[in-house]
Structure 1
Amino acid sequence: MMAVRVACIVAVLAVAALPARAEDRSVLVNCKATVERASKIATAASEAELARCRQVIREWALRDARMTVDEQGQPIR
């Protein structure tokens, strides 16, 4: 009984952690291109897609501001 309870708790925590996984930098590059394209062409992307891309760009900006090393491990500052 205790093992089942522990397994359920672990499963719930694993599922909760899935959305917290960070996207790779290619998602950021694609979102920047989408937002840039939408600024030039009015019908380039849907509002939902643009909102998601703007959120991804914001999250990457915050993440990059907190980093002290780049992707190769070299100091930024």
Structure 2
Amino acid sequence: MMAMRVACIVAALVVGALPARAEDRSVLVNCKAIVERASKDAHAAREAELTRCRQLIREWALRDARMAVDEEGKPLR
């Protein structure tokens, strides 16, 4: 019974941590394309999708601002 309770707690923690993982750069590129298309065509994307993409772009900008090296390990400054 105790093992089942521990397994449920571990499973809940794993499921809770899944959305917190970092997205790869291809998602950023796709979001930038969606936002650009939406600026040209008002019916290009749903508002929820645009909001999510704008938030993701902001997060990437903040993440890149904190980075001291680029993706290849070369210093940015």
**Where does structure 1 differ by over 4 angstroms across 4 or more consecutive aligned residues?**
none
Give the Å deviation of 1:26.
0.6
Partner of residue 23, structure 1: 23
Q: Aligned partners of 2:4 and 2:76: how far apart in 1?
A: 47
1:18 is aligned with what amino acid?
Answer: L
- Matched pairs, number: 77
State the Cα distance separating 1:63 from its structure 2 match. Answer: 1.1
Q: Which residue of 1 aligns with 2:12?
A: 12
Relative to the length of structure 2, the TM-score reads 0.88
CA RMSD of aligned residues (A): 1.2
SS at match of 1:12: helix
Q: Unmatched 5+ residue regions in structure 2?
A: none
CA distances 1:28-67 after superposition (whole Å, capped 9, x unpaired): 0011111111111121111111111101101111111111
Q: TM-score, normalised by structure 1?
A: 0.88
